[in-house]
Structure 1
Amino acid sequence: MSAEEPLFRVVRGTPTAEELAALVGTIVVRSKPAAAPAPLPVSAWARGARPANNGHTAGPNAWRTSGLPR
């Protein structure tokens, strides 16, 4: 595509300046990548159920200490 070619063209009808502005605005908004949503906070209840965050590590007697309170 050369720099002289338009990005789009109206093939039927005669849109007003406002209609063309709305079309261009829509195309610009839709062509931008959506921002990634912020991660949701994790509750303390859910965090305690995750193996990586429960405070226990693998090793000798790990199975025994996993049943003990922290």
Structure 2
Amino acid sequence: MIKVVRGNPTPEELAAALAVVQARAAATAAAAAAGGGPRVPEGWSDPARIARGVRPSPGPRSWARSFWPA
């Protein structure tokens, strides 16, 4: 369901917005079907690369690692 929160779009504007949403959904479905399963997180976004199991020790940058579980 698409809800217009602000403004008064014309039917043509709504049709264009719906076409974009449908195209994006079709592209996402095609990528998921071609990939064969859920995407694996990239290495740079993996929390394990930051939190290597080392607990923070007192120091000037200890706050940066304090929120990652060990």
TM-score (norm 1): 0.38
Greater fraction helix? 2
TM-score (norm 2): 0.38
RCO greater where, 1 or 2, for CA within 8 Å and sep 6 or more? 2
Q: Which structure: larger Rg? A: 1
